[in-house]
Amino acid sequence: MQTPYSRIESIQGPDDVKKIPSEEIPVLCAEIRDFLIEKTLKNGGHLASNLGVVELTVALHRVFSTPKDSIIFDVGHQCYAHKILTGRAKDFSLLRKENGLSGFPVRKESDHDAFGTGHSSTSLSAALGFAEANRLAGNDAYVVAVVGDGAFTGGMIHEALNNCKKNQRLIIVLNDNEMSISKNIGLLSRYLARIRVSRKYNGTKRRTKAILRKIPLLGAPLFRFFSTVKEKLKRRAFSHNYFEDLGLTYLGPVDGHNEEILEKCLREAKNRQSAVILHCITKKGKGYAPAEENPVAFHGVSGQKKDDNFHTVVGRTLCALAEKDEEICAVTAAMEEGTGLALFGKTFPERFFDVGIAEEHAATFSAGLAAAGKKPYLAIYSTFLQRAYDNVLHDIALQELPVRLLIDRAGFALADGPTHHGIFDVAFLSHIPHIKIWEPVGYGSLVAMLEASLKETAPLAIRYPNGEEDKEVVDAFYPERDYATFGVRGLDMKGARVVFVSYGKAASWAYSAKRLAEKEVPCGMLLLETLKPYRETAKAVLTLLADADKKAALFFVEEGIQEGGCGMLLREALLQEAEEEMQRRVYRIAATSDGFSSPDFSKEKLAAQALAALNGDMA
């Protein structure tokens, strides 16, 4: 019996894709699009980018043979069709869910995922590693790097291009969906591209070369003359093609939605047995009108609309502050929508800077703005800030420049998985000199922090999670709505025998556990909204601890890593401030030591552990 996805269901792996008759390939591509739209709109995920590479992915798997040949997708979120064609369609109901199918290539998930690419612009460096390893091993495997959806704006791609060699079995597919490289190549160049990938043209070129070289005396000069003429004509058409200037063979541009042409081009690239650039023109959101018309809005879908969240509050507040202060600038690294800065960009275009997928440059550029007297706010996801560590350390902190880091997506990213967990920034920022770290519990204190940040004369990091505030926790700690007094706040501390200590999103879990545990023993809670400097935080904690039972156990709940994290550093600061006072038991629940696993933050588990800690039964 035929089902809407009969062809997809028949595919157990890439070999099955190769068996499909050419005339049925357009039907397969249409089926894949319908499948992606249905599953992604229902379960969430990256939609527009994946709709744009359907024909390209099908062509890749008909020409190359994974896992012998390696296909590396960059950015990795454009790999959904690849997962379908490698036998994982049945797992899409659990796409981006815990213990389900990842939205990115994952080596442990399949042998067909050659390299994990959760961050952008890494594919070509990895592909060069594969290509050189293949050469050293003496095998004839090919490596394909599919670079697109903005990845080409990342500096690593250009560093890797500088190290490409002509004799490598490397094919770089430039997926140009006009979201990264503009359409600047005309009809003549497309005509030249068509004839350059034809077997007849390349066969004629090889035969002409052989014949000319056999002519005594005149052969070599004639060959050089014709080669020079050809290069001049080609350079005029391609306006000094960047890739050919680097010594790489360039094919294209070609229609990235014509599977037949793509196959032909990929086979020609393969026949060259050398490093080749294949330039494909694709349309992000292809085949789904809403995504074609607004690819940014359909880049990632979640299935639920939120009117307010932390990053929308950031965007609105920065606009309000910038109305009064002309020195305020906003900077992002290709995350204008994701970080909530789209409104700022529309309102203050002259003071808004999207530098592309170049986090290192974004940090040092912000440092330059600060050194020149401006007030830069750099909004960046926690997981991507890791790439700019050196720039934050040397270019911002060492010079004590007042760059305001707005660290979005702080905490676990359970849908995206380990590559997007924002659980390392507290630890690596904590040991960088001169920088402060704040984290608001809700929108009110976030606004207060942004207002207070204008007076800061040194680096500052304000981190916040993806999502909405927990109104119950905000009401508990700010009953008077006096947000300007953000810092360290206590709740039910008088006579408490267990004191939960937490910050950020983890404060919600700690608060729920406190409510449960206090049915058995008096429980208090300390909310940290200022983390570093830790000695100042420790003094505030000790003041509030004075009301608790002298033997009260401290139970720290943290969404960051344990090693070098807030819990560890705050305990050390408390001991330095009052060693005798801190003879009490201190326990920490945080991300596990491997840094990528989420601990059990359920209120039942946390409450049970806190009670065990009180009795000294917890390790």
Q: What is the pLDDT of residues 395-414, one digit of tens each?
A: 999 999 999 999 999 998 87
- Over residues 43-59, the mean pLDDT reads 91
Tens digits of residue pLDDT in 166-175: 889 999 999 8
Question: Distance between CA atoms of 346 and 328, rounded to whole angstroms?
Answer: 15
pLDDT at 615: 75
Q: What is the token pair recorded at 219?
A: 């052969």
160 and 128 in contact (C-beta within 8 Å)?
yes
Of residues 110 and 582, more confidence is placed in: 110
Tens digits of residue pLDDT in 411-455: 988 788 888 899 999 999 999 999 999 999 999 999 999 999 999
**What topology does CATH give the domain 310-463?**
Rossmann fold (3.40.50)
Question: Distance between CA atoms of 559 and 509, rounded to whole angstroms?
Answer: 10
Q: Which residues pair with 353 in a beta bridge?
A: 331
**Cα radius of gyration (the chain):** 28
Q: Which residues pair with 329 in a beta bridge?
A: 376
Sheet of 352-354: strands edge to edge?
A: 352-354, 328-332, 375-381, 404-408, 460-463, 436-438, 530-532
CATH fit for domain 6-185+239-292, picks 3.30.750.24, 2.60.40.10, 3.40.50.970, 3.40.50.720: 3.40.50.970
Question: Distance between CA atoms of 132 and 122, rounded to whole angstroms?
Answer: 16
Annotated catalytic sites, by residue?
A: 284, 359, 387
37 and 47 in contact (C-beta within 8 Å)?
yes
Question: Distance between CA atoms of 300 and 96, rounded to whole angstroms?
Answer: 12
Q: Return the domain boundaries, the chain.
A: 6-185+239-292, 310-463, 487-614
Tens digits of residue pLDDT in 122-133: 899 999 999 999
Of residues 198 and 372, more confidence is placed in: 372
pLDDT at 198: 53
Portion of the chain with pLDDT greater than 70, in percent: 85
Compute the mean pLDDT over every residue in the chain, rounded to the nearest whole number: 87
Q: Which CATH architecture has domain 487-614?
A: 3-Layer(aba) Sandwich (3.40)
Domain pair 6-185+239-292 / 487-614, same fold: yes
Can you tell me whether residue 91 is helix, strand or coil? helix
The yes-or-no verdict on residue 599 having pLDDT over 70 is no
User: Pick from 242, 301, 243: which is nearest to 276 by CA?
Assistant: 243
Provide the residue type at 38 as one letter: E
Strands (E), 260-360: 276-281, 300-301, 328-332, 352-354
- Over residues 148-175, the mean pLDDT reads 87
Of residues 181 and 86, more confidence is placed in: 86
